[in-house]
Structure formats: structure tokens, C-alpha cells
Amino acid sequence: MNPTIHNITFDCAEDPYDLGLFWSELLGRPLADDDKPGDPEAVLRDPDGGPTLLFVRVPEGKTVKNRIHFDLRPRGRTRAAEVERALALGARLVADRTRPDGRGWVTLADPEGNEFCVERGDSDTVTDAPATPGE
């Protein structure tokens, strides 16, 4: 029998609770009831049974680009609205790869520098404008 993904773990140089709060607000998943500021770890469980997001304090900070990241697809709002919401929660803009036809994505970083992308939302439209060659 094959394994399942139990946790997706974020290393945190700062307070795991604070980073957990950012992702809790962004994804609409509550922090575990027993998580408190200053704890060495914090947990966000998926109410649908998917992997838990686990935030764990480590001694070193992030130094290179992520080799794996989340691609988020907004539900009930546009990509632009979701990006603005994430920025208001403490994310940082890394790159806007939105194309003139509406395709593409925006790369953001959470407060610890972990990159994630926001794709086109279900409220966005795509035009028939020709895509840029190579994209």
C-alpha cells in the first residue's frame, strides 16, 4: 500500500504561530485549539481530510527559492482581489506574470519568504488575445 501525505511542513525562523495565523487567514483554516504564540509548532488541519499544514520552528532562516510551492486558485473572487487580500495579510509581491489575455499567475511570498502563486480565479475572464510566444 502506498503512503499518503500527512503533513506539509513549513520551517519557521520566527514564531510558527504567527506564520500559521497568516496561512489560517489566507486559506480559511483555523489553527488548532491548543496552538499559542511562542509554541515551537502550529497546525492547520484540512476539514476535508487533506494534508495538515505544520509550522515548525527551526534555527536557520530561509536562504534560497522554494523547490515546491502552492498554486492557489481563488474561489468567488478574482486573482487581483485575492492578491490584494494576501498583501493586506502580510504577503509580499515577488512577480506578476499575468498575461494580457488574463492567463498567468502572480507570485507572492508569505511573511517568512515562502513563495506561492495565485492563479486565475473563478471570477476572472480570459480574452481571445493571442498568447505571447513561448508562454
Indicate which CATH number applies to the domain containing 109: 3.10.180.10
Same domain, 1 and 45: yes
| Residue 10: inside a domain | yes
Range of the domain at 109: 68-127
The percent of residues above 70 in pLDDT, for the chain, comes to 94
Residue 135: pLDDT above 80? no
Question: How many domains is the chain partitioned into structurally?
Answer: 2
Report, as an integer, the average pLDDT of 23-31: 95
Of 31, 60, 89, the one marking the end of a domain is 60
Give pLDDT tens digits for 122-134: 888 877 655 554 4
Convert 12-28 to b/e letters by CB count within 10 Å (16 or more is b): beebbbbbbbbbbebee
Same domain, 30 and 75: no
CB 126 within 8 A of CB 102: yes
pTM: 0.87
